[in-house]
Amino acid sequence: MRTGIIPLYKPMGMTSFACVSKMRYVFGQKRVGHSGTLDPNVDGVLPICLGHATKVVDLLMDSGKIYRGSITLGFSTTTEDLDGEIVEDDFDFEPLTQAQIDAGLSSFVGEITQIPPMFSAVKVNGRRLYDYARHGETVERPKRIAKISYFKQLGKDIIDEENKTQTIFFEVGCGKGTYVRTLAVDFGKKFNIPAVMSQLTRIKSGGFDLSETVTIDELMEAKESDRLAQKIFPIGKALTDYSRIIINDSQWKRVKNGNFLEIDEVEPNDETVLISYHNVDRALYYLNHEKKRYLPLKMFDLEGD
């Protein structure tokens, strides 16, 4: 079984689940997972975890993400993007000025409250919201807190005189669970103008950026030429926020059995540290203040001497 992370480039038109299925075929193993769903019409970085790396999926999902895309003003849809049916339009609005655009985008920075779109995978009473939507049913949607680190305009907006729309290009840095589609719609609501997210690409996720991604075709070629191992990043690539602690043979005998490490064996004394042995990242340990020892949080690759 292979262990590590593939920074996959997910193309438009493909579901995240389909990407996982394809990776199971490419690598010939079932233990595969992704770290954060991308809608079919969104492309970009989709970290795929293999083997023991599936244990850090939650950590990758908690890491910040960066998107680039566009907001089009003038109409809104059922899905909050271009896939849905138009439900409202206003082609007589006054185009926003640069000052209005900047103020509108910056007003979302910080903690905001979002209501997930009906066409999303959020579960309510055991059913996905998109299931309710496809059956023409309505249900009260739970509010969510999203964290926006920045939201800025990229380049010049475009005013389409023929279609009477205005498109604004943006980049946003955000936390787990943010619905960028909803950001686009809510941006328009600030000016009482219907809006949609008209394009979106995730350019960074789980510590990987777009330049590091590999396509499915490239992986298939690597499989045929027996070069797949060269495409896999070690678990530690996604855990750079943690201090790496190099342990010796004696400590490894304890760690591989899930035993503790004393505080004076760990430097620096961070709350959580990455344990490495023989150049392989083996586990995450956390400081238990009550016991004054480091205990295992997540165990990865325990093979080897």
Cite the active site residues: 39
Asked if 151 contacts 106 with a C-beta cutoff of 8 angstroms, the reply is yes
* Rounded-to-integer distance, Cα 30 and Cα 14, Å: 20
Say what the alpha-carbon torsion angle 93, 109, 201, 77 is, to the nearest 10 degrees.
-40
Which positions ≥6 away from 205 have C-beta within 8 Å?
35, 36, 44, 45, 46, 47, 60, 63, 65, 66
Q: What are residue 257's phi and psi, to 5 degrees?
A: -100, 10
Locate 117 and state its tokens.
């779109």
How many angstroms separate the CA atoms of 7 and 298, rounded? 21
**Dihedral of the CA atoms 152, 158, 163, 165 (nearest 10)?**
30
* Two tokens, residue 189: 């609501």
How far apart CA 196 and CA 200 sit, in angstroms, is: 11
Query: Taking phi first (over 0 means left), then psi (-120 to 50 degrees means alpha), and beta for anything else, what does residue 34 get?
Result: beta
CB of 105 closer than 8 Å to CB of 152:
yes
